[in-house]
Amino acid sequence: MAIKNIDKLIADINQNKMEKKLGIAEVFGSNVFNDAVMKKMLPKATYAELKKVQAGETTLTLEVANVVAGAMKDWAISRGASHYTHWFQPLTGKTAEKHDSFLSPQADGSAIAEFSGKQLIQGEPDASSFPSGGIRATFEARGYTAWDCTSPAFLKEDAAGDVTFCIPTAFCSYTGEALDKKTPLLRSMEAVSKQAVRVLNALGEKNVKRVTSTVGPEQEYFLIDKKYFDARIDLVSTGRTLFGAASPKGQELEDQYFGAIKDRISKFMKDLDIELWKMGISAKTKHNEVAPAQYEMAPIFSTTNIAADHNQLVMETMQKVALRNGLVCLLYEKPFAGVNGSGKHNNWSLATDMGMNLLEPGHTPHANEIFLTFLSAVLTAVDTHADKLRAGAANPGNDLRLGANEAPPAIISVFLGSFLSQLLDNLTKGKATQSKGQQFLKIGVDTLPALPLDNTDRNRTSPFAFTGNKFEFRMVPSSASIAGPNCVLNTIVAEALDGIAGRLEKSKDVNKEVAAIVKETWTKHSKVVFNGNNYSEEWIKEAEKRGLPNIHSSIEAYAAMNNKDAVRLFEKYNVLSKRELHSRYEVYLEQYVKHINIEARAAILMAKTQYVPAVIQYTGELAEVISKLKEIRSDSSVQESLLAQVSELLKSAQEKLIALEENSAKASGISNIEKKAASYRDTVFPSQVELRKDIDALEQLLPCDLWPVPTYADMLFNF
């Protein structure tokens, strides 16, 4: 064995020993420039000052930034990093990074490691290649990244061992307009904090200075063998299968959910856990999901902006770790027809700086007063702005999922459970509430009853379910950033809280006012509450009767964030300006168009270069056999009928292929972006679905060795 290999072997053994020795506790957060590291590395005064900045009590000075930057550089270099990057989240929904070396060349030809406060606080990436929806003309392509000091900086390691120091940042234009998903999220957190603090102060909680929105996103995903992925143009270019007949077995045996995890997947999950733990992401639960080859990972919840950063890292790391294991991770909302797609369950709540969860029913009348006030705010917000919440969960992939009997319908409703609904109903009617045989005291209208904690039942079909101490927004698309939906959620709740705060601040009898607010909320907004089966036909009809919006497609949904009411709301709470809202609308419509166009192109390419040639080959073989059989006067009726069947499908497929090409050409020629998107939705997408029908039918007639791409059975069951 060559010396080099022996060295590598010894290094590997040592590495292995080290990993074995390092317990979970040591691994966790080892790549994060976290509070513990800062406490150790920063002078006391700087550390104290930074904490104040993080709490929003003071602004960052260059002096503090210089000291923090120096410590960051020393720590990052000691951990093997040579580069740093301002890490941000443009409107693509992905993350962006440009690596800069810490090295600074000197006059004498040497170089020293340098990282200044200015470099930490602000970066200036060329922004011209990121979507901006017209906010930033390319001639003034400057974009700025600004350090989000409330989300910890971290090290990202790749498989080759390269280490990069990542600084979470917000990304905006020269004029200060948001070009990313992070900036509005941070602004919405401010908005909801401000209004929640007002409400709490009015309710007598005078010490609360800040309220943060918290999120725990459960991430669903698929894993398939890389060799199948590589062999499918549709998966490679769109992330989903555009063709494929259902495999004989799907998910009907219900044997996958929580099933035993296969060794290969288990290895992936372990590798994933370790990578996430290193970056301080508290990956907590992992299990098989409903569809074959589908899985879920849930972290422990955190502050919304950190949760959003972490979720981006989770998606990225899942994809990287999958590749290291010869797998590909599919995050697309509906990668396979006929089996469940993937979503993200966005568990959301509000917590005070004193650690009180505001959606946790309490044991005292005062705690319940707070709970019922915040519950009322959420009900008001969700009912009033259901269309905006729906927009927050819109993307082209989710169009294939919402309302497809596996995910909530495109109608926003709230699940409260029968106990809470009954309680609110009784309160409104002035009746007492019975729970588990226990009579609750009702002393006049100004006292609210004690609530038992374990009284909320479960409903897996609701898009917005109360789960005991938080709301679970279940409509969020699996591949999307969670910044968007949480920005909407925070802002609409801020408005509802603003209204409540105004009333409480003016009121002489706060208790009485709370009771009145709870009653009025129930009277006005209980129409958004639905505890039944959201997948049923009856609900669709019932929701229509109640006047709840049912918004089917993403392009319709986006419009709710670009109308007068959206501008009024988001400008009022300084979350998004009219221009920012409009730019997003344009960007999302453009993305929709590009998305469907790529799908159409991939479908056309596969049909022309893979499916049609395979079918032609088969018809040729059949024709040859038939003529040979005829020569010897043998029966060729089976072959002939098969040939007729296949030829007919081939002809039909060819016609549909031409229609798809024509519709694509027409749609791409439209200049108005709204009309263009509608044309892609109404003509291009349906013609691609039509083409699929024939190709999938052919797949079930052709000899499997002639079929040019891996089948659903291969991809979903072969590991």
Q: Residue 311 interacts with ligand ADP (CB under 6 A)?
A: no
Q: Which residues pair with 444 in a beta bridge?
A: none
Q: Which residue of this chain has its Cβ atom nearest to Mg ion in the complex?
A: 345
Interacting partner of 119 out of ligand ADP, Mg ion, none (Cβ under 5 to 8 A depending on kind): none
Which part of the chain contacts ligand ADP (CB under 6 A), choosing from 258-266, 294-302, 421-429, 619-627? 294-302
**303 belongs to the binding site for ligand ADP (CB under 6 A):** no
CB 108 within 8 A of CB 567: no
- Should residue 428 be labelled a site residue for ligand ADP when binding is judged by CB under 6 A? no
Smallest gap from residue 470 Cβ to ligand ADP (A): 4
Applying CB under 5 A, does 345 fall inside the site for Mg ion? yes
Shortest reach from residue 215's CB to ligand ADP, in Å: 5
Q: Which is nearer to ligand ADP, 165 or 348 (CB)?
A: 348
- DSSP code of 594? H
Nearer to ligand ADP, 493 or 596 (CB): 493
Compute the radius of gyration of the chain from its Cα atoms.
Answer: 29
Q: How many Cβ atoms are within 10 Å of 433's Cβ, its own excluded?
A: 18
Per the CB < 8 A criterion, the answer to whether 604 and 657 are in contact is yes
**Interaction partner, residue 485 (ligand ADP, Mg ion, none; CB < 5-8 Å by kind):** none
Residue 99: which residues within 8 A CB-CB, separation 6 or more? Answer: 83, 84, 85, 164
Read off the tokens for 411. Answer: 């109608």
Question: Of the two residues 174 and 535, which places its CB atom closer to Mg ion in the complex?
Answer: 535
Q: Name the minimum Å distance from CB 439 to ligand ADP.
A: 29
Which one among 132, 398, 467, 711 touches ligand ADP, defined by CB under 6 A?
Answer: 467
Contact present, 224 and 293 (Cβ < 8 Å) = yes
Secondary structure class of 683 (helix, strand, coil): helix
| Residues near ligand ADP (CB under 6 A), total | 15
Instruction: Check: CB of residue 297 under 8 Å from CB of residue 286.
Output: yes
User: What φ, ψ does residue 407 adopt, rounded to 5°?
Assistant: -125, 165
Task: Candidates 129-137, 337-345, 444-452, 492-500: pick the segment binding Mg ion (CB under 5 A).
Answer: 337-345
Tell the smallest beta-carbon distance from residue 465 to ligand ADP (Å).
9
Instruction: Compute the distance between CA of residue 471 and CA of residue 415 in angstroms, rounded to an integer.
Output: 9
Q: Which CB atom, from 236 or from 453, has the smaller least distance to Mg ion?
A: 453
AA identity, residue 278: K
Sketch the per residue contact string, 627 through 666, with Mg ion: x for CB under 5 A, - otherwise. Answer: ----------------------------------------
Site string for ligand ADP, 173-212 (x = CB under 6 A): ----------------------------------------
Q: Using CB distances below 5 to 8 A depending on partner kind, what does residue 357 bind out of ligand ADP, Mg ion, none?
A: ligand ADP
Residue 489 backbone dihedrals phi, psi, to 5 degrees: -55, -50
301 touching ligand ADP, by CB under 6 A: yes
Q: Which of 703, 699, 702 is nearest to 247 (CA)?
A: 699
Alpha helices, DSSP H, located in 29-109 = 35-41, 44-54, 62-78
Nearest to 389 by CA among 397, 381, 401: 381
**Three-class secondary structure assignment of 537-570:** HHHHHHHHHHCCCECCCHHHHHHCCCCHHHHHHH
Q: Closer to Mg ion by CB, 476 or 667: give it.
A: 476
User: Is residue 656 within the footprint of ligand ADP (CB under 6 A)?
Assistant: no
**Under rule CB under 6 A, residue 300 binds ligand ADP:** yes
Note whether 676 binds Mg ion by CB under 5 A.
no
- Whose tokens are 């950033």? That residue is 481
Q: Which range touches ligand ADP (CB under 6 A), out of 151-159, 298-306, 433-441, 550-558?
A: 298-306
Report if residue 286 touches Mg ion, rule: CB under 5 A: no
Choose between 315 and 660: whose C-beta lies nearer to ligand ADP. Answer: 315
- Helical segments of 138-181, H only: none
Q: Residue 401 binds which one of ligand ADP, Mg ion, none, with CB within 5 to 8 A depending on kind?
A: none
CB closer to ligand ADP, 472 vs 714: 472
Rounded (5°) CA angle 506-509-511: 115
Q: Which residue has the tokens 């699940």?
A: 415
Based on the shown chain and the rule CB under 5 A, indicate whether residue 136 belongs to the binding site for Mg ion: no
Q: How far apart are CA 199 and CA 378, in angstroms?
A: 13
How many residues bind Mg ion, per CB under 5 A? 1
Stretch that binds Mg ion, among 98-106, 281-289, 342-350, 458-466 (CB under 5 A): 342-350
**Of 474 and 584, CB closest to Mg ion:** 474
- Assess 654 for contact with ligand ADP (CB under 6 A): no
Half-sphere CA count of 669, side-chain side, radius 13 A: 6
Q: How far is the CB of 164 from ligand ADP (least distance, A)?
A: 27
Given the complex with Mg ion, which of 470 and 525 has the nearer CB atom?
470
3-state class (DSSP) for residue 611: helix
Nearer to ligand ADP by C-beta: 216 or 335?
Answer: 216
CB of 490 to ligand ADP, least distance (A): 13
User: What is the distance between the alpha carbons of residues 13 and 6, in angstroms, rounded to a whole number?
Assistant: 10
As measured in angstroms, the least distance from the Cβ of 117 to ligand ADP is 34
* Contact in structure between 116 and 109 (CB atoms under 8 Å): no
Structure tokens at 565: 């009411």
x/- string (CB under 6 A) for ligand ADP, residues 331-370? ----------------xxx-------x-------------
Q: By Cβ distance, which residue is nearest to ligand ADP?
A: 216
Least Å from the CB of residue 458 to Mg ion: 9
In angstroms, what is the minimal distance from the CB of 123 to Mg ion?
37
* 469-508 residues near ligand ADP, rule: CB under 6 A: 469-470
Convert residues 517-536 into a mask of x (bound to ligand ADP by CB under 6 A) and - (unbound): --------------------
Asked if 470 touches Mg ion (CB under 5 A), the answer is no
- Nearest-5° Cα angle at 596, 595 to 599: 90
Site string for ligand ADP, 206-225 (x = CB under 6 A): --------xxx-x-------
DSSP β-bridge partners for residue 101: 83
Q: How far from 118 is each of 62, 171, 176, 582, CA to CA, in Å?
A: 7, 16, 18, 32
CA-based nearest residue to 602, from 233, 229, 239: 233
To ligand ADP, the closest distance from the beta carbon of 358 in angstroms equals 9
Pairing of strands 81-87, 163-173: parallel
669 alpha carbon, distance to own chain's centre: 32
Token pair for residue 449?
Answer: 């009853």
Q: Residue 261 or residue 623: which is nearer to ligand ADP going by CB?
A: 261
**What is the Cα 713 distance to its own chain's centre?**
28
| DSSP-derived 3-state class of residue 290 | coil
Choose among Mg ion, ligand ADP, none what residue 300 binds, the Cβ cut-off being 5 to 8 Å by kind. Answer: ligand ADP
Three-state SS annotation for 414-427: EECCHHHHHHHHHH
Neighbours of 46 (CB within 10 A): 19
Which of residues 362 and 468 has its CB atom nearest to Mg ion in the complex?
468
Judge whether 220 and 289 are in contact, CB under 8 Å: yes
Q: Which positions lie near Mg ion, rule CB under 5 A?
A: 345
Q: Which positions lie near ligand ADP, rule CB under 6 A?
A: 214-216, 218, 298-301, 347-349, 357, 467, 469-470
